[in-house]
Amino acid sequence: MTAQSAVRTFVWTLTADPVYMGTSTSTILRWDPVAPCVLVPDDTPHTVPSWPDSPDTSLEGYKVAGKSVGEVRAEIERRGLKAAYLITEPRQDRPDSARLPRYVMYPTKQNTPVGDDWFVWQADEPQQGTVRLMVTRELAKE
């Protein structure tokens, strides 16, 4: 070690999972100075996997795949539930034979107004009484 004093910087990071709504943290001890953090919107495409319809939701087996948002929202309201949306797009880099998920979600597009003519391709219930609809303007090609 030289006569100079070593600079140590403690770095703490927080990462949010916008699809599954979880968070994680990490810590790093750096021996060099670091620049102040500048927050930037995450526009990374997050894949949204498909899963079989679950009978354990408040929709009790109601099939949503391929139906319009207006049709599904009417059913949700009829059951006294709330609707939330995860706005998705068909994946552009998915070869026909690939087993990659068919849809991606961009965090910066989650405030896009959802129309009744949009499509629902999947639903889950992240909290009791709120059904989250995975919606898209156009369905992915099979």
**Cα 25 to Cα 8, 12, 13, 48, distances in angstroms:** 20, 7, 5, 22
**Per-residue confidence (pLDDT) for residue 71, from 0 to 100:** 97
Q: What would the 3-class secondary structure string for 57-120 be?
A: CCCCCCCCCCCEHHHHHHHHHHCCCEEEEEECEECCCCCCCCCCCCEEECHHHCCCCCCCCCEE
Per residue in 82-120, pLDDT (tens digit) is: 999 999 999 887 666 566 788 999 988 999 999 999 999
